[in-house]
Chains A and B, each alone.
Chain A
Amino acid sequence: MFLYEWKKLLFRRGGVWLILLFLVGEIAVTVLFLQPYDRVLESNREVYEGYLANVNGPLTQEKRDFLEAEMSRLNNIHMQLSQLNTSYYQGKISQEDYQAQLASLTEQDAHYTGFAKLYTQYIYVREVPERRYFLYTGGWEKLLNDLEPDYLLLLTLVLLLTPVFCEEYASRMDQLLLTQKRSAGGQVLWKAAAAGSLTVLLAGVAQICKVVAYGAAYGLPDGGYPLESLVSFGGSIKGLSILQGFLLQFALRELGYLYCAMLVLALSVLLKKFALTLMAGLIALPLPFLTLRTYYGLAPIPGPWALTIGSIYLVPSIEALGFTEMTPFQLGMYVLIVVGLMALLFGYVWWNNTNWAIKRISFGKGGGRQ
């Protein structure tokens, strides 16, 4: 039954084409519109990496000394360069002298921008040296500080999952299905299982696409360091490592998209018609994101919206927006509530597709289903 539902989902209704289109779109969007998190850092990556190799990891006294010394040396060169320029403009030195000094100074000064990036990071790290380590953050920031939902996936889910129940209603098969002995429970369960597994798969593929793309383009090193090492998560109170943070985000997103799938299924059972369900799905899922400007307000609502973004639950509190980070306990309770609501939605779908009369008769016979 499960495999047959899969087959129906994918081949009978042209779902394969939709999924292929989604994958092509997803890869195209990830690869074509790839913007670095920090443009200056990326253009000075080699210099930065060269210095970073010396200080990677937690802050120590030697590293402090090294960074301070290097900063004062480079600052000196930077000052000398500007002095040289001024004195040349004032006519204090000749053209030849200027050219000779300029070449060597410019060459040394080329390190300045790259090192300044690392020094800014050092200023950030030394505030809380126990929980903030040195590492290359461009890739991780890009991956974790992504506060937009995947519109393409939301759209695909609405289009793909609407027919799961609506098809039976449109062809009036639902009544026939209800007369079957196996229909009670099993039918709905397998449909939901097929829809859910497909959703989990698609959401997983979409996220892995991003991981691979960012990993290849920027690199995702040192996942074991504390999450607070990333500037965007500086005040995080969960005490996670970067990799744990990513896994939490991954899991929350999977849950969010699964919630979306359940919502679409419940809507399709409630509304029964294709056009109605599609429209309701569009209004329920992508529209709130398009209407609101910032999504922090969605975080405490037990709906699928903030969960599909995931990283909203990792971001530290922002007072100006009245947004507070959830503690691990609160997050756990929140997830429990969400799971409970999803169970309610599934219960609604199940209730509406179950023929209680048949069940009663089979119980009466004492055998039930085989």
Chain B
Amino acid sequence: MKRRILSFLRLVGYELRKAFGTVWMVVFLAALLLANGWRLYDTYHQKIIQWEEYQDVYAECYSYLSGTITPEKIGSLMLAFGPLQEKGLGNLSEEYDPDAYTYSEMMDYSFFDELFYQGIYYDYFYQNHAVEIVNSARSLSSLYSQSGSSFEAAKNARIAQDFAGRKVPYFGDTRHYEVLLNYDFSAMLVLVLCLFALCGVFVTEKETGMYMLHRTTRLGGPATVGAKFAASALFAVGVSVLFFTQDFLTLHLLGGRWEALSDPAYGIWQLEYTPFRMRLGSMFLWLGAVKTLGVLCCCCFFLLVSCLVRRVLSSFILSMALLFGAVAAQNLGQGGYFGRGCNPMELVIPRELIAQDEFVNFFGYPLRLYAAMLISVCLTAAAVCLVVLYRNRSTRAGLLERRRRRVSV
């Protein structure tokens, strides 16, 4: 047994080296990482460029206002911001003002409003907002249970459970994390790289006519296919981890303020209605894992195409068409629950899944939308894998041969 495992591992290693261990792969990887890095920098820069000039003022205000929200902090913010707010947006002057924090009254207004007031306001009132949601969900739940629709009742009961006791007592700079939350470019690069690497996994053997020979060998058939699967999965996971870590680290270091990482995830306004109660840091870990899973599911489709066609060129083009189709279908929101459940792009770009507390009616049981998507996409990918295995099954002659040799040994 130990020997067989060892030989299988050796096979995986060999497949890895054969399919992915080329100089050009390294070159392409470097090019894509560079493009991703530039794009990250550019997106973040675009977000903060307006206030770059006043970084010092921002740092000073931030060091006082960040952390636990207290009445004193709000008071001192309103000391600067309140008079501007009272004056009204239309009456603020745009002339240079030597007493202003930034440049003019108008500039001061948007500085405090955009960077502090809105964020602190949101955090401070989130608790009340959550209580409102819980109350209305509870009353809806009792209403539905009286009228006898058990799914709606159970759904609202769970919503009430989700939002009960939520509060955001801290304020932190989340601008870079907002960029990270909306960033899809890296996932597309990972997919393109996987497309390139995986389109030839099965086709190469067909082009050289080796696949018939494979199935007759002792470790051939299932073991080779298994090794190909394992190598592809390792590659996809490796590349995903590389790119998603780059995303996180780049923005993390560019932003430079990390307090928000330990705040609740719903402290970011885009995740106001998220079903999760985890911290932002765990949220990003979870997101990375889901994205990687989505990439893996996409890879199953690439492998399927690779084992169905006879030429690398057709494999590449078909896989790319599939990829574009999936992206377009996700963007247009087409296909209903069934179509979405088969589309691995839902996991690769999971923003919609985590932003809303939605449920699917699963035989009367309220199943969370993201859980339903995870399960259905994984099942689809498993079905695709089975098709690949079936296409690469051993021939009867090969089986007989193996059996004969095992007896003789």
Residues on A close to B: CB < 8 A?
13, 159, 162-163, 166, 170, 271, 273-276, 278-280, 282-283, 287-288, 290-293
Contact = CB atoms under 8 A, between A and B. Distances in A.
Given A159-B317, A283-B28, A291-B35, A275 B312 contact: yes
Interface string B129-148: 00000000000000000000
A157 to B, nearest CB: 13
Contact of B316 (A274, A287, A293): A274
Nearest to B314: A14
B182 interface: no
B365 to A, nearest CB: 41
Given A159-B317, A274-B316, A279 B196 contact: yes
B316 A280 contact: no
B401 interface: no
A162 B39 CA distance: 28
Contacts of A291: 35, 38-39
Contacts of A273: 312
B154 to A, nearest CB: 43
Contacts of B382: none
Contact of A293 (B35, B46, B196, B312): B46
A331 to B, nearest CB: 28
Contact of B28 (A159, A280, A293): A280
Contacts of A276: 24
Contacts of B316: 274-275, 278
A290 B313 contact: no
Interface string B166-209: 00000000000000000001000000100010011000000100
Interface string B30-41: 011001001100
Contacts of A274: 311-313, 316
B35 A282 contact: no
A163 B313 contact: yes
B313 A282 contact: no
A283 B31 contact: yes
A271 B313 contact: no
Contacts of B199: 275
B259 interface: no
Contacts of B200: 275
B185 A290 contact: yes
Interface in B26-75: 28, 31-32, 35, 38-39, 42, 46
Contacts, number: 46
Contacts of B207: 170
Contact of B24 (A159, A170, A271): A271
A282 B192 CA distance: 9
A163 B31 CA distance: 24
A171 to B, nearest CB: 9
A170 B316 CA distance: 15
A13 B317 CA distance: 12
Nearest to A171: B207
A162 B46 contact: no
8 contacts: A159-B317, A278-B313, A280-B28, A283-B31, A290-B35, A291-B35, A291-B38, A293-B46
A277 to B, nearest CB: 10
A111 B134 CA distance: 54
Given A275-B196, A290-B185, 14 more contacts: A159-B317, A162-B313, A166-B313, A273-B312, A274-B312, A275-B316, A278-B316, A280-B28, A283-B28, A287-B32, A288-B35, A291-B38, A292-B42, A293-B46
A169 B213 CA distance: 24
A52 B42 CA distance: 43
A275 B194 CA distance: 11
A288 B42 CA distance: 13
Contacts of B42: 292-293
Nearest to A170: B207
A280 B22 CA distance: 14
A279 B312 contact: no
B230 to A, nearest CB: 21
Contacts of A275: 196, 199-200, 312, 316
B49 to A, nearest CB: 11
Contacts of A159: 317
A282 B200 CA distance: 17
B300 to A, nearest CB: 19
B30 to A, nearest CB: 10
A74 to B, nearest CB: 27
Contacts of B317: 159
Nearest to A18: B317
A287 B28 contact: no
A71 to B, nearest CB: 27
Nearest to A284: B31
Nearest to B37: A291
B35 A279 contact: no
A293 B42 CA distance: 8
A175 B319 CA distance: 31
Contacts of B28: 279-280, 283
A270 to B, nearest CB: 10
Interface string B223-250: 0000000000000000000000000000
A360 B39 CA distance: 52
> Chain B CB within 10 Å — which of A278, A279, A291 has the most?
A279
